[in-house]
């Protein structure tokens, strides 16, 4: 079951209370594709980098069988850069800078071979570009989309136009409140569902995630971690694990969406254990399933 991932490829500079890292390869497409690659193949990436994007980072994706035919490399250009700082409460982060660089001229061209991808995962990029991708795709099984405050603030109307074409929207709690102008997350989910997506997933960092459909409110915990080094990419790893599971099972029933949320949370938990994408390297499917089982134990209880 094929997945098309469109998103940013970035050089991230990150400070956390436990350390810092400069220009580490990241970006939404990298985290999503790496996480999804544990579930299905082919995972295809469409994005753009400058000549300064490290070749080893691309080799890591290729080793995971990620198809990079749709990656544009502008040798004379600079890769997108993002920098952020986390506080002691790792749920809170400040964006210090966003340099679009080659992204400013990005016009996603989906290779003909990729136009019939079954699952489309639109990572956090300009909603106008997200729409341009959808214009080139033929009848996917579902379109899953991520966004962030940067686009909710700067391209609100464009984002709302894009949302009309989205099946499943994944965003975090503060973004859900910002987009819906509603403080209560259940109500926020309802408002956002009214904008287009039939399913809304609201991530709450270390407090888990909510799955909201027409008739369901499902609350999944986050895996309680003792060692969180870097939350960067957790949201994207969640999206990758989520869409990866859906593609592997080809099942959009609510019970399976719940499982997908748990697989998403599981991949996010591996991501935050190390800096950058390191936590998504060298996992095994058995390790993933083992943690999913631990998730199950975490909130299981006998009624009497």
Q: Using CB under 6 A as the criterion, which residues of the chain lie in contact with ligand AMP when the complex forms?
A: 8, 10, 12, 26-28, 82, 98, 124-125, 150, 232-236
Please give the Cα distance from 74 to 229 (Å, whole number).
32
Please give the Cα distance from 43 to 32 (Å, whole number).
10
The distance of closest approach from Cβ of residue 105 to ligand AMP in the complex, given in angstroms and rounded to an integer, is 15
The distance of closest approach from Cβ of residue 127 to ligand AMP in the complex, given in angstroms and rounded to an integer, is 11
The distance of closest approach from Cβ of residue 85 to ligand AMP in the complex, given in angstroms and rounded to an integer, is 13
What is the torsion angle, in degrees rounded to the nearest 10, for the CA atoms of residue 52, residue 55, residue 61 and residue 63? 180
Pair 191, 202: CB distance under 8 Å: no
Which of 82/263 has CB closer to ligand AMP?
82
The distance of closest approach from Cβ of residue 271 to ligand AMP in the complex, given in angstroms and rounded to an integer, is 8
The distance of closest approach from Cβ of residue 183 to ligand AMP in the complex, given in angstroms and rounded to an integer, is 21
Pair 223, 270: CB distance under 8 Å: no
28: Cα separation from own chain's centroid: 6
Closest C-alpha among 249, 291, 254, 1 to residue 118? 1
Pair 32, 102: CB distance under 8 Å: no
Which of 1/234 has CB closer to ligand AMP?
234
Please give the Cα distance from 195 to 19 (Å, whole number).
40
Pair 157, 222: CB distance under 8 Å: no
The distance of closest approach from Cβ of residue 142 to ligand AMP in the complex, given in angstroms and rounded to an integer, is 20
Which of 27/279 has CB closer to ligand AMP?
27
Please give the Cα distance from 166 to 121 (Å, whole number).
10
The distance of closest approach from Cβ of residue 137 to ligand AMP in the complex, given in angstroms and rounded to an integer, is 20
- Dihedral (CA of 279, 275, 123, 224) sign: positive
Which of 99/182 has CB closer to ligand AMP?
99
Please give the Cα distance from 222 to 268 (Å, whole number).
9
Which of 1/169 has CB closer to ligand AMP?
169
| Whether residue 42 has a cis bond before it, omega within 30° of 0 | yes
Which of 215/227 has CB closer to ligand AMP?
227
Which of 245/275 has CB closer to ligand AMP?
275
Please give the Cα distance from 211 to 205 (Å, whole number).
14
Which of 1/53 has CB closer to ligand AMP?
53
The distance of closest approach from Cβ of residue 77 to ligand AMP in the complex, given in angstroms and rounded to an integer, is 16
């Amino acid at each position: 079951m094929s997945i098309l991932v469109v998103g940013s490829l970035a050089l991230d500079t990150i400070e956390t209370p436990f350390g810092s890292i400069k220009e580490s390869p990241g970006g939404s497409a990298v985290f999503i594709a790496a996480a999804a690659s544990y579930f299905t193949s082919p995972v295809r990436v469409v994005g753009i980098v400058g000549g300064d994007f490290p070749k080893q980072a691309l080799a890591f994706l290729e080793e995971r069988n990620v198809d990079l035919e749709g990656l544009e490399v502008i040798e004379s250009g600079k890769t997108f850069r993002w920098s952020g700082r986390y506080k002691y409460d790792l749920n809170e982060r400040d964006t210090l800078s966003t340099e679009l660089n080659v992204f400013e001229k990005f016009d996603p061209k989906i290779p003909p071979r990729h136009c019939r991808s079954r699952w489309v995962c639109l990572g956090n990029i300009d909603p106008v570009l997200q729409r341009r991708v959808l214009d080139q795709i033929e009848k996917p099984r579902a379109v899953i989309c991520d966004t962030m405050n940067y686009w909710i603030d700067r391209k609100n109307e464009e984002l709302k136009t894009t949302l009309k074409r989205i099946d499943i929207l994944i965003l975090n709690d503060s973004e859900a409140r910002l987009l819906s102008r509603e403080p209560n997350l259940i109500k926020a989910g309802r408002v956002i569902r009214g904008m287009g997506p039939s399913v809304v997933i609201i991530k709450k960092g270390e407090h888990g995630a909510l799955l909201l459909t027409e008739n369901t409110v499902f609350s999944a915990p986050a895996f309680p971690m003792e060692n969180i080094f870097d939350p960067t990419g957790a949201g994207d790893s969640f999206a990758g694990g989520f869409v990866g599971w859906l593609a592997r099972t080809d099942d959009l029933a609510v019970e399976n969406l719940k499982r997908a949320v748990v697989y998403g949370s599981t991949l996010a938990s591996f991501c935050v254990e190390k800096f950058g994408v390191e936590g998504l390297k060298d996992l095994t499917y058995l390790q993933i399933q083992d943690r999913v089982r631990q998730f199950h134990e975490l909130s299981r209880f006998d009624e009497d």
